[in-house]
Structures are given as structure tokens and as C-alpha cells.
């Protein structure tokens, strides 16, 4: 039989450091989520000639109030139009493969965000378990 002893002082130190460790782990998880979302959305973005895919970027996660936020977006001036408008895919875009059942084209950022939302939440839960 193994015995493990911990003093109340050691336990208190561990609990006092938990918020900082938890924040760091959640930022780590949010970074992984944002990188995944960017990668999938780039695969789903329409492709013709304007560099839309290459304009995708991540604003590194940070604590804002009581939340950890990360932003994934596209900087081309027409990115919002390509995301929201209904349009016919060009021949190059039409040849791009589906990603996990999702079609290339409009809502290229929203579709994977919704599809993988639960997976992203689970990743954050796993990161938080690493602290406790």
C-alpha cells in the first residue's frame, strides 16, 4: 500500500496557483482551437485569384474580463461578401474537396465553427483537467 501525505500549506499553495495555471491552459486550448478553425476555414474558402485564403489570421487568445477570447478572421476587403453572399463558385473553387462533409464556399468560417464547437469545448475541458 502506498501512502501520500500533503500538508494543508502545500494544498493551499496549489489551490492559490490554480487560477493562473488554468488561464494559461485555457489560452493554450483556445490557441489550438483557433489554429484548427483557421486551417479548416482556409480549406473551405473559395479560391479564384484574390488571396482570400492567405489573408486569414488569428488574433492570439487573451483574457477579456472573465472570458478568454480568440479571433479568427480574414482581412481581404471582399472576405465578408464571400462569406455571406450567395454566389456561383468558380471552376477552381468548385474543384476543391469537401472538408468533413462541408462544402467550399459561403459561410467558410461559420460552418466549421458550428460543426466543431463541441469538440473545441471538449478540448478546453481537457486542458482544464490538466490543472486539477
pLDDT tier at 109, thresholds 50, 70, 90: very high
C-alpha span between 61 and 28 (Å, rounded): 8
Of the candidates 119, 125, 118, the one whose C-alpha atom is nearest the C-alpha of residue 26 is: 125
Lowest mean pLDDT among 43-52, 56-65, 82-91: 43-52
DSSP class of residue 102? B
All residues at 6 or more sequence positions from 102 whose CB lies less than 8 Å from its CB, including other chains: 40, 44, 111, 112, 115
Per-residue pLDDT for 115 more than 80? yes
The pLDDT of residue 5 is 80
Average pLDDT rounded to a whole number, residues 123-127: 96
39-to-35, 65, 77, 112 alpha-carbon distances in Å: 6, 28, 20, 10
Distance of alpha carbon 74 from alpha carbon 57, whole angstroms? 6
pLDDT digits 0-9 by tens, 64-97? 999 999 999 999 999 999 999 999 999 999 999 9
- pTM, two decimals, is 0.86
Classified as helix, coil or strand, 68 is strand
Amino acid at each position: 500500500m502506498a501512502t501520500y501525505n500533503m500538508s494543508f500549506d502545500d494544498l493551499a499553495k496549489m489551490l492559490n496557483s490554480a487560477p493562473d495555471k488554468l488561464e494559461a491552459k485555457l489560452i493554450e486550448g483556445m490557441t489550438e482551437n483557433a489554429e484548427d478553425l483557421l486551417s479548416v476555414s482556409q480549406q473551405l474558402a473559395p479560391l479564384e485569384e484574390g488571396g482570400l485564403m492567405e489573408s486569414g489570421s488569428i488574433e492570439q487568445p487573451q483574457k477579456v474580463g472573465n472570458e478568454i477570447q480568440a479571433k479568427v478572421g480574414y482581412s481581404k476587403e471582399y472576405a465578408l461578401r464571400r462569406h455571406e453572399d450567395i454566389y456561383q463558385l468558380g471552376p477552381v473553387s468548385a474543384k476543391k474537396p469537401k472538408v468533413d462533409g462541408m462544402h467550399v464556399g459561403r459561410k467558410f468560417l461559420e460552418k466549421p465553427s458550428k460543426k466543431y464547437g463541441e469538440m473545441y469545448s471538449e478540448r478546453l475541458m481537457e486542458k482544464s483537467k490538466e490543472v486539477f
